[in-house]
Amino acid sequence: MTITRTLVSVCLLAVGLISLSGCGGSQAPDPDLVPVSGTVTLNGKPAAEVTVAFNPSGTSESSTRQPSFAVTDFEGKYTLKHRNGEEGAEPGEYMVTFSKYEMPDGSPPPAGSEPEAVGAKQALPERYLSIGEDAETATVESSATVVDFSLQSR
């Protein structure tokens, strides 16, 4: 009886382990990313600390692409990072949004804080904040791409 119980226990354990090895599904392969960089200016001057978001648009294939993001440096330069953390963006059409928070005195919000929670306000016009008819657009080619943006405060 003990041998039968042990054998049944081992069989159940083996079946459980085999079935668990298939759980979780397969992960999608990492997408082919292309380096994307550029400069953002505001009223002709480098725009520092602007969040740049490339949001997939266009055809049904855009539903499988993921967004890429960057924050400009003090010279207004940016290099996109894909949602998966790797540098670049997937080739295709994008609608681009921009965001920049400032404290009432014009300084950036404290690092690591939620902008609205510390009294920071959006410094860019509404038209740059969301996807819509007036949104900026960009095409990421299949090779390294440079996309510059010239924003206006009015």
SS3 string, 124-136, reads CCHHHCCCCCCCE
Q: State whether residue 79 is helix, strand or coil.
A: strand
Look up the domain containing 131 and give its range. 36-151
Asked whether residue 27 is domain-assigned, the answer is: no
Secondary structure (3-state) at 12: helix
Taking only the tens place, the pLDDT of each residue in 73-108 is 999 999 999 999 999 999 999 999 999 999 999 888
At 42-82, the pLDDT tens digits run 999 999 999 999 999 876 554 688 999 999 999 999 999 99
Distances (CA, A) of 122 to 47, 110, 111: 14, 15, 16
Residue 121 placed within a domain: yes
26 located within any domain: no
Domain count, the chain: 1
Any idea of the CA torsion for 4, 6, 12, 17, to the nearest 10 degrees? -150
CA distance 147 to 133: 19
Domain CATH code at residue 97:
2.60.40.10
Report which of residues 98 and 2 the model is more confident about. 98
Whether 142 is covered by a domain: the verdict is yes
Query: Domain for residue 140, yes or no?
Result: yes
Rounded to two decimals, the pTM is 0.76
